[in-house]
């Protein structure tokens, strides 16, 4: 039995449509010629709050019951989920309690504040983050919205590829980044329901390859001291996302840091779009020949565009 | 009498359609809210060879007679026109002789070579460039395609706003950068023919304000030692472009360098697109309150995205 049905994903599309962007799909003549293929880039860097995370956050917040909604939502995150959840809560005019490590980048803190998020700072450890979050939940009764291991979040992320498949049917492959697996498990389910002939291949930085190791060993192995510039992909697969990925994803490939940087530079320089390193792992998998796209029709999920412009990795 | 008719612009659209991108129009909820307006960004940074210049170059090259075409085309340019002309010539499989100053940035030289352009280097003075170009034309019989003071080039550039008006009708204003005036004169004519109620306002860097001074003094005043980071806008209005602009443009405003940089950063950071400084002068005119957009529907021509990513002005 699948946790999410085709109808669930269709209803999420309707639920979130007024509050998120139907993002464009871009192509590159240069890439298509060079790789003898047809490549389609789903630009979630143009999504509200700069990343696909807005889809899951809006879906989760707009799925809350009347009782739940009164007490607001909470999460711990220093990344795109924090911004997306604060924005979704603002749309429903409810509080969003965001626990952030005290060393979180100023630009991220400002973005969460900009969406009206109520920030509580804590020590930069997972234990401190969880403890602080638990304390807030006890005080407020807020509903915790996990960044990826939450069925409503996965349902929202699944709309990304449902949209892509509608715009570009008959894809041979979809390349998707993997961190905690919310986007990837949603992608795998949408491919299954809306384009059953399409294979999903996950792309992961070698420095944070827990999904790769979990997938090929057949047992869940969390990250230990992951290290990569793709800061959206540091997390480990979750209890809900891992089984979906193990069953529905065709393969996982890993890429090196320099390959991520090269792909990111190409996306800026030739395609004229601002993407974060986590988004570039997909194209990096092609540049490094980890995935063969010859004569294939391939979709890429460019997951987000929230990057520190003062420290672009190809300039460091 | 107008040099270019409505039918001329429509025929240019047909002529160039197979060889250029129909570029997307982006919007920003944040900007619309902040400025109480509806702003539409025509993204010529996503155009072939990274700038609107591809439209004019393709139109000029594909308008050549059978006799002319054999001998190829020539120009002197170190900018986007050089790349665009080399690309257009490559499409017709004819030679493009490009005269470039010997101090031209390596990245621009490589781009022209990438499109098969035949480069002749010369001393970095206008006299040397013209002399070298004349010599090549005498030797080869190639047709000179001026970057902006050429009726076929203006006809091609005019298609940008013809497309924008088709996508977004009933604009109150269109903001367009001005350098030599090829894009601006084409924009003014397309607005006149396809949306007569739309006013065109040109935006120019204060450090290269020959168009501003020419427009308001009523006589043609060329640039002297212009200085701006908007390197596409250093040129002076031409003999063909100046009279069209004087007659059809509603106003010209100038912006400071720091205003250009601020607008460019916003386009990167919030709209997630890579633009060159010349494109950002339009949004800079709003940020600096030189143009009032309150409750108006406004189009912006983002002219190009060819920028040195290692030297982004907001990082210098």
Q: B297 burial class (0-12, 13-18, 19+ CB within 10 angstroms)?
A: middle
Per-residue confidence band for A1, with pLDDT thresholds at 50, 70 and 90: very low
Alpha helices in B146-220 (DSSP H): 151-167, 182-194, 210-217
B63: left (phi over 0), alpha (psi -120 to 50) or beta: alpha
Read off the pLDDT of residues A14-26 as tens digits, 9 standing for 90 and up.
999 999 999 999 9
Q: Which domain holds residue A42?
A: 6-51+150-315
Co-location of A189 and A276 in the same domain: yes
Enumerate the residues of chain A whose CB falls inside 8 A of the CB of residue B274.
268-269, 272-274
Q: Which residue(s) pair with B280 in the sheet?
A: none
Distance CA B143, CA B64 (A): 9
Nearest alpha-carbon partner for A191 in A212, A215, A163, A154: A163
DSSP state of B19: T
Cα–Cα distance list, A293 to A212, A289, B86, B237 (Å): 20, 9, 29, 48
Distance (Å, whole) CA A191 – CA A186: 9
The number of domains in chain A is 2
Q: At what angle do helices B6-16 and B151-167 cross, to 10 degrees?
A: 90
| Cα dist from A61 to A50, A52, A97, A129, B192, whole Å | 18, 15, 13, 21, 48
Dihedral, CA of residue B102, residue B107, residue B110 and residue B112, to nearest 10: -80
Asked whether the beta carbons of residue A268 and residue B312 sit closer than 8 angstroms, the reply is: no
Which whole number is the average pLDDT over A123-133? 92
Residue carrying structure tokens 């405003």:
B253
Interface contact flag, A309 B305, Cβ < 8 Å: no
- Summarised one tens digit per residue, pLDDT across range A227-240 is 999 999 999 999 99
How confident is the model over A265-312, as pLDDT tens digits?
999 999 999 999 999 999 999 999 999 999 999 999 999 999 989 889
Residue B111 and residue B248 in one domain:
no
**Listed residues B121, B144, B167: the one ending a domain:** B144
> Mutating which of B49, B272, B276, B304 best tests the A interface, going by the most A Cβ atoms within 10 A?
B272
Among A169, A186, A164, CA closest to A297: A169
Residue positions of A annotated with a catalytic role: 53, 78
The answer to whether the beta carbons of residues A191 and A49 sit under 8 Å apart is no
The residue from A100, A123, A144 where one domain ends is: A144
User: Which residues in chain B are closer than 8 Å to A26, comparing Cβ atoms?
Assistant: 46
Give residue-wise pLDDT tens across range B127-154: 999 999 999 999 999 999 999 999 999 9
Residue A1 lies in a domain: no
Same domain, B117 and B107: yes
Q: What is the pLDDT of residue B151?
A: 97
Answer with the one of A83, A117, A144 that is the final residue of a domain: A144
Looking at the structure, tell me whether residues A64 and A186 fall in a common domain. Answer: no
Structure confidence by residue, pLDDT tens digits, B157-168? 999 999 999 999
Q: B196 with B174: CB under 8 angstroms? A: no
pTM given for the model: 0.93
Residue B259: closest CA among B244, B281, B231, B235: B281
Query: What's the complex ipTM?
Result: 0.91
Q: Is the dihedral of CA B310, B107, A30, B142 positive or negative?
A: positive
Closest CA to B152 of B99, B84, B216: B84
Q: Do B118 and B241 lie in a common domain?
A: no
Give percent of chain A above pLDDT 90.
91
Q: Minimal Cα–Cα distance from A217 to chain B, Å?
A: 38
The DSSP bridge partners found for residue A39 are A298
Test mutation, A30, A167, A272, chain B, max B CBs within 10 A? A272
Q: How far is B21 from chain A (nearest CA, A)?
A: 10
Closest residue to B269, CB basis, from A271, A309, A314: A309
List CB contacts (< 8 A) between B305 and chain A: 272
* DSSP for residue B132: H
pLDDT digits (tens, 9 = 90+) for B250-277: 999 999 999 999 999 999 999 999 999 9
- How does pLDDT run across B74-129, given as a tens digit for each residue? 999 878 999 999 999 999 999 999 999 898 888 889 999 999 999 999 998 889 99
DSSP run (H or E) holding B68: helix B66-70
Distance CA A207, CA A193 (A): 32
Q: What is the CATH number of the domain that holds B47?
A: 3.40.50.1100
Q: With bands split at pLDDT 50, 70 and 90, how would you rate the model's confidence at B1? A: very low
Is A240 found in the same domain as A129?
no
Which three-class secondary structure state does DSSP give residue A258?
helix
The pLDDT score that the predictor gives to residue A74 is 98
Antiparallel, parallel or unpaired: β A25-26 and A38-43:
antiparallel
Considering the domain architecture, whether residues A98 and A171 belong to the same structural domain is answered as no
**Same domain, residue pair A72 and A90:** yes
Cα–Cα dist B249/A114, whole Å: 39
Task: State how far the Cα of A187 lies from the Cα of A175, in Å rounded to an integer.
Answer: 9
Q: Are B142 and B268 in contact (CB under 8 A)?
A: no
Query: Would the pLDDT of B64 be above 60?
Result: yes
Q: Is A190 within 8 Å of A168 (Cβ atoms)?
A: no
């Amino acid at each position: 039995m699948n946790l999410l049905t085709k109808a669930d994903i269709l209803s999420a599309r309707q639920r979130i449509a007024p509050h998120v962007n139907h993002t464009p799909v871009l192509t590159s003549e240069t890439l298509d010629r060079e790789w003898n293929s047809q490549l389609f880039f789903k630009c979630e860097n143009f999504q509200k709050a700069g990343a696909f995370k807005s889809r899951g956050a809006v879906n989760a917040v707009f799925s809350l019951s009347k009782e739940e909604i009164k007490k607001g939502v909470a999460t711990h995150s220093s990344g795109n989920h924090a911004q997306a959840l604060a924005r979704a809560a603002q749309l429903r005019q409810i509080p969003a309690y965001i626990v952030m490590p005290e060393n979180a980048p100023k630009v991220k803190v400002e973005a969460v504040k900009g969406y009206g998020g109520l920030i509580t700072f804590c020590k930069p450890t997972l234990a401190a983050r969880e403890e602080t979050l638990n304390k807030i939940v006890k005080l407020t009764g807020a509903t915790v919205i996990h960044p990826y291991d939450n069925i409503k979040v996965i349902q929202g992320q699944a709309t990304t590829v449902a949209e892509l498949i509608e715009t570009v049917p008959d894809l041979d492959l979809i390349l998707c980044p993997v961190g905690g697996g919310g986007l990837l498990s949603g992608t795998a389910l949408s491919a299954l329901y809306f384009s059953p002939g399409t294979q999903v291949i996950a792309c992961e930085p070698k420095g944070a390859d827990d999904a790769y190791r979990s997938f090929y060993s057949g047992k869940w192995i969390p990250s230990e001291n992951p290290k990569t510039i793709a800061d959206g992909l540091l997390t480990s697969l979750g209890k809900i996302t891992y089984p979906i990925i193990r069953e529905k994803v065709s393969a996982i490939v890993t890429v090196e840091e320099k390959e991520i940087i090269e792909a990111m530079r190409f996306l800026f320089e030739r395609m004229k779009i601002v993407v974060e390193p986590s988004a570039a792992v997909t194209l990096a998998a092609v540049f490094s020949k980890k995935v063969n796209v010859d004569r294939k029709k391939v979709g890429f999920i460019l997951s987000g565009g929230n990057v520190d412009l003062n420290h672009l990795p190809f300039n460091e």
